[in-house]
Chain A
Amino acid sequence: MLKRLAASAIAAASIFVAAADTPAEAAKAVPVPDYDFSFDGVFGTFDQMAKQRGFQVYREVCAACHGVRFIAFRNLMALGYSEEEVKALAAEYMVEDGPDENGDMFTRPGIPADRIPSPYRNEQEARLLNNGAYPPDLSLMAKKRKGGPDYIKALLVGYGEPPADVELMPGMYWNDYFPGHQIAMPEILFDGSVTYADGTEATLEQMSLDLATFLMWTAEPSMDQRKQTGISVMLFLLVFTGLMYAVKRKVWADIH
């Protein structure tokens, strides 16, 4: 009976861990809907075109304020771009380099080995130009927020009017999914904000889904490889464990 109590306590605790939530934060954060992503589940992989579309949204909208500082241009080949396309894209950016033989820093067109330049030189400049707010780097956004890509998509579609009894602080906007609901980032993504290169209709739903996919990739670029390896590893281990079970049974046959 107490053994059963202990077992149920452990079960309850693991459900709690699975929820990975704490009341203190739950009071502020709203549960995020579970959206369908191409990379969901054990067999899910990144949708290549969604990553490209997401990158386009990032480049044309988000990049005005947010960096993806862990991503180099060369990494974009994982999105399906050719080396020439990546070289051409990198060359559109000016990158600081140096010092040269005179001891001076200089700017030059980007090359694939360069990281994608962030919009601000540092946090101070970012805050100065954004009314005191600091647009965070997006590289790891899909891993550093509870809910990950679901949270990113929810946030982008979660703008709206505040409830009547809430007075927004100056320069803040209402968001259903932002912890505390008052966010310094204005609603920036609307139907048709970009014209997709592949002709997909750029609805808010579509763009937020694509962007969340792209940001999941920037946070976890090796995800496809990880899952692929994992499936082989699990198959091997199943055979290994089955074999070991048979060996154990055989060896112990004279004892039991």
Chain B
Amino acid sequence: MAFQSNNALVRWIDHRLPIFTFMNAELNEYPTPRNLSYMWNFGSLAGIVLVIMIATGILMAMQYTPHIDHAFDSVERIMRDVNSGWLLRYVHMNGAHFFFIVVYLHILRGLYYGSYKAPREILWMIGVVILLLMMATAFMGYVLPWGQMSFWGATVITNLFSAIPFIGPDIVVWLWGGFSVENPTLNRFFALHYLLPFVIVGMVFLHLWALHRFGSNNPLGIDAKGPQDKIPFHPYYTTKDLFGLGVFLLVFCAVVFFAPNYMGHPENYIQANPLVTPPHIVPEWYFLPFYAILRAITFDIGIPFTGIVLIDAKLGGVIAMFGAIAVLFVLPWLDRSPVRSGRFRPVFKQFFWLLLVALVVLGYMGAMPAEQPYVAISQIATAYYFAYFIVILPLLSILERPKPLPASISEPVLKGGGSVAGATAKPMEKP
């Protein structure tokens, strides 16, 4: 149904710039599968958290001083002397944690329900780009308060680039803007931490554009057969998303107001000191699985029996860590199974939950010192992580026999062990 308005000004504008028609089509009438579960709430939540982060971040940037001698004190000034500064900072700080919680759930949902499969490959790949940008932004943001973990985290992570053969050390100097993590490093991290969120906003628009091309995937993973399978976004999913937002905010605000430092590291309340190494350098929890993969590669890779080393352990770790994200880019072409939803893939389902176990184990190992048996366990979990994408999914595409798919979204829904559930959904007309 075409957009119509009683307001002459709106009609005048819309004739020249059809922005009202566009918003009506994409936010109001936008046809959405009628069977989306609450796992589909995390996309809009991530968008809301992004807005919260940008809003609080801009306000704090007005009080923050990106200089190694003043950064730590200026953050404390925000906490003490800026009106409601403590609220801005705690929302921003914990917002980063919750951003990753929400986005990781969003990604796991996509992995389970096959949301990366045709025709949504580009949608998925843009999502992976957003994840990478988020990680870079979060890493640089964590450096800004210039605490001990800020400084040493920045030192450890930027030093990873020195593993690149031949040009690595030069790249590190170039990244630092000097010969160690120093004031130019802090300055550029601040500049980029301010810039990248807006790049993320741009990518989010592309993400939504690609999403709206074919609409959301759904828990059954089958395409809509007709209008009876879809309902307009508003009011159905606007109300569902708002309820989800309320639940999210309850948890988020409980942490912000009653345990704001729960997820942070106490060490970061000590001002950065290049002369004192903390006893145990750990990244924030959302990087721990990748940190564990980095440290799991403790062996050189070379030509057997010749002693020729092609990839030393350090470079191998860096490749594995970036590879852990890079493999997601090609995921749509690794999993060739035509069935999207894990619901109808009995074998896939088992391996999926094992992947989740592996990720949790990796997260745990990432916080452990690099000693045995933690290294061995990390290696097993890392091997499983890559095997899941590179070996198991391609093999399952051929070997697995999926359960029969329901005829359509509004038809009786198959449940549990393939038995037909009793309820029959009645066909639904758009109101």
Q: Which of A221, A230, A244 contacts B258 (CB 8 A)?
A: A230
Given A24-B279, A144-B267, do A221 and B80 touch, yes or no (CB 8 Å)? yes
> Of all chain A residues, which has the CB nearest B361?
A9
Whether the Cβ atoms of A241 and B282 lie closer than 8 Å is no
A5 CB within 8 Å of chain B: yes
Complex CA gap A118/B368 in Å reads 38
Q: Which of B269, B349, B360 is packed against the most chain A CB atoms within 10 Å?
A: B360
B157 CB within 8 Å of chain A: no
> Of all chain B residues, which has the CB nearest A222?
B86
Whether the Cβ atoms of A70 and B76 lie closer than 8 Å is yes
Q: Which 7 pairs of residues, A with B, have the shortest CB-CB distance?
A: A230-B257, A241-B246, A144-B269, A2-B353, A244-B243, A6-B356, A9-B360
Residues of B within 8 A of A75 (CB): 80
Residues of B within 8 A of A227 (CB): 257-258
Complex CA gap A226/B262 in Å reads 15
Residues of B within 8 A of A42 (CB): 258
Complex CA gap A241/B242 in Å reads 8
B9 CB within 8 Å of chain A: no
Identify the A interface with B (CB < 8 A): 2-3, 5-6, 9-10, 12-13, 16-17, 20, 22-25, 28, 42, 70, 75, 139-140, 143-146, 148, 179, 219, 221-222, 225-227, 229-231, 233-234, 237-238, 240-241, 244-245, 247-248, 251-252, 254-255
Which of B231-239, B301-309, B389-397 lies at the interface with chain A?
Answer: B231-239
Q: Which B residues between 257 and 296 are near A, CB-CB below 8 angstroms?
A: 257-258, 260-263, 266-267, 269-270, 279-280, 282, 285
B11 CB within 8 Å of chain A: no
Whether the Cβ atoms of B86 and A238 lie closer than 8 Å is no
Whether the Cβ atoms of B235 and A5 lie closer than 8 Å is no
Whether the Cβ atoms of B357 and A9 lie closer than 8 Å is yes
Complex CA gap A238/B263 in Å reads 24
Given A2-B350, A229-B87, do A222 and B257 touch, yes or no (CB 8 Å)? no
Residues of B within 8 A of A140 (CB): 76, 269-270
Whether the Cβ atoms of B247 and A247 lie closer than 8 Å is no
Complex CA gap A251/B237 in Å reads 10
For residue B229, give the distance in angstroms from its CB to the closest CB of chain A.
12
